[in-house]
Amino acid sequence: MIYISAVGMINALGNDNDEIARNLTRGIAPGMRPRAGWLQGNPHAVFAGVDGELPAIPDKFAAHRSRNNQLLLAALAQIQPQVDEAIAQYGRDRIAVVLGTSTSGLDEGDRHVDLTLNGRESAAWRYPQQELGDPSRFLSHWLALDGPAFTLSTACSSSARAIISGRRLIEAGMADMAIVGGADTLSRMPVNGFHSLESLSPALCQPFGRDRCGITIGEGAALMLLTREPQSVALLGVGESSDAYHISAPHPEGEGAVRAITQALSDAGIAPDAVGYINLHGTATLLNDRIEAKVVNALFGERVPCSSTKHLTGHTLGAAGITEAALGMLILQRDLPLPAQDFTLSPPDPALPPCGVIARPQPLERPVILSNSFAFGGNNASILLGRIS
């Protein structure tokens, strides 16, 4: 069994676990608001940002200066004592770093191009900032670790797959502990890319709402420590699939999603009725919500309460999987009420198959949480967490 010994995160709900837990319970996201300058032509749209000052990256790591890596440092600070203890216990060569991202330092690269095209100096830019492998390389160097370190980029399932890969490294004997997670930053390229696909909502997203029209993009980071040492929360099971049905659309029957969920249940050795809450991928696009509702209805009926938390964090892209798994861990650790789906701006879509979406907070009755991440290209991942009594 693999356990989770610590978690740190930062997103639109708050800058640490205490603030995030309070705001998750209240259903309020301080960082969620209209922002200008991201969409071409500078129209306002709602984005989920991180407010406040982030840790500085010193000159020694100038080649890794990016907001993405600053978000990682903010998450790391929350679990630094546990990381230091692990280094002392296991050694620097026995700790792995596996992260997920879809932007890395892309925003810094974008600003560099903008400056140079307009004849201005871009002295702060370094090429490694925007490489997809930079987050894990940076964090490994920052902590002076010598264990395996790599980054995964499978769009919106990236950091969920980082959790799965970290578990595999421990089970294979290649590491005694794994720092897993991910980070993504607001950036003009993905923002305008989703807008060109007509998948970006200018207003706050409405997962499973009748009037939903697309995603709200957010930024954030989260890190977990995986270990064999028994803890109060365990990584019960994982599942992943790659159906490759379409570059940007889910399989019409959700075949890959079904495989990921059933694989996670089988891996954990539990029946669907043992799950107490499902954190849905729930992006608020017309297709994703329709297919996910169909899949959950087929596997669980209406028996398991579920909701999407993306109206509170935004869709943090490559960081979504770890962000939502970390929220699940907070619910398990602190016995928080299950987050309700917000239907104040749009009523529930009556055309969707009934799948247990809750409109009001309620207690977690069974201490097992399933978190789904379904990405472009059919890259699907499901994570099962459970409280160990």
The confidence score (pLDDT) of residue 377 equals 72
Per-domain boundaries in the chain: 2-387
349-374 per-residue burial string, b: 16 or more CB within 10 A, e: under 16: beebeebbbbeebeebeebbbbbbbb
Which tens digits make up the pLDDT trace of 120-144? 888 888 888 889 999 999 999 999 9
pLDDT at site 122:
83
Alpha carbons 364 and 140: distance in angstroms, whole number: 36
Q: How far apart are CA 67 and CA 271, in angstroms?
A: 41
The catalytic residues are 156, 281, 315
pLDDT of residue 282: 95
Q: Give per-residue pLDDT as tens, 20-53.
A: 999 999 999 999 999 999 998 878 899 999 999 9
Percent of the chain with pLDDT over 90: 85
pLDDT reported for residue 248: 67
Residue 223 neighbours by CB distance under 10 Å:
30
Q: How confident is the model at residue 243 (pLDDT cuts 50, 70, 90)?
A: confident
Question: Is it true that domain 2-387 has CATH number 3.40.30.10?
Answer: no
Average pLDDT over residues 154-164: 95
pLDDT at residue number 35 = 95
| Alpha-carbon separation of residue 30 from 92, 120, 387 (angstroms) | 38, 35, 29
Residue-wise pLDDT for 312-339, tens only, equals: 999 999 999 999 999 999 999 999 999 9
* pLDDT value of position 162: 98
CB atoms within 10 A of CB 261: 28
Which string of DSSP letters, residue by residue, matches 125-182? --GGGG-TTHHHHHHHHHTT--S-EEEE--GGGHHHHHHHHHHHHHHTTS-SEEEEEE
